[in-house]
Amino acid sequence: MTPPKRDNGLVRPYVVTAGRAFPTRNTFDLVTLVIAAHDLSLSGLGPEKRRLMVLCRGGSLSVAEVAAHLVLPVSVTKVLLGDLVDSGHITTRSPALPVERPDVQLLKEVLDGLRALA
């Protein structure tokens, strides 16, 4: 049995974004973390924005993860995210930067100093 075909037409993304191709802000990277506000009502939001909010209320997700869960192109997801940031429904932040490794020589000197105190 083969799975049903999905409609990959170009009309749906156009309708979802109200014809816009770019978000109101261009600050979303694929790894930007999305955090949903828990205290705002979902009434007045379209179905995709509502699904996005419900998805992100479970914890922070990256833009790429949100797009994958919603089965929408990343560009469409970024437009939706821009709208939700503008309305205060979500906040975003950059992922944590990798921590620099401390200098090995410095660690040896600290260890030697601690041993000398003992």
Express each pLDDT in 29-42 by its tens digit. Answer: 899 999 998 888 88
Within a domain: residue 6?
Answer: no
- The arithmetic mean of pLDDT across residues 48-60, rounded, is 90
Is residue 18 domain-resident? Answer: yes
pTM of the model: 0.68
Find the mean pLDDT for residues 64-92.
91
Q: How far apart are CA 58 and CA 96, in angstroms?
A: 19
Could you tell me if residue 48 is inside a domain? yes
Residue 111 covered by a domain: yes
Residue 42's domain spans which residues? 11-117
Q: Per-residue confidence at 13, pLDDT binned at 50, 70, 90?
A: confident
Q: What is the CATH number of the domain that holds 100?
A: 1.10.10
Among residues 28, 30, 56, 32, which one has the least CA distance to residue 42?
56
Beta bridge partners of 91: 35
What string of DSSP letters covers 43-80? Answer: TT--HHHHHHHHHHTTS-EEHHHHHHHHT--HHHHHHH
- HSE (side-chain half, CA atoms, 13 Å) at 66: 35
Q: Tell me the average pLDDT across 20-24.
A: 75
Domain count, the chain: 1
Residues 44, 106: Cα–Cα separation, whole Å? 57
pLDDT band at 115 (very low <50, low <70, confident <90, very high): very high
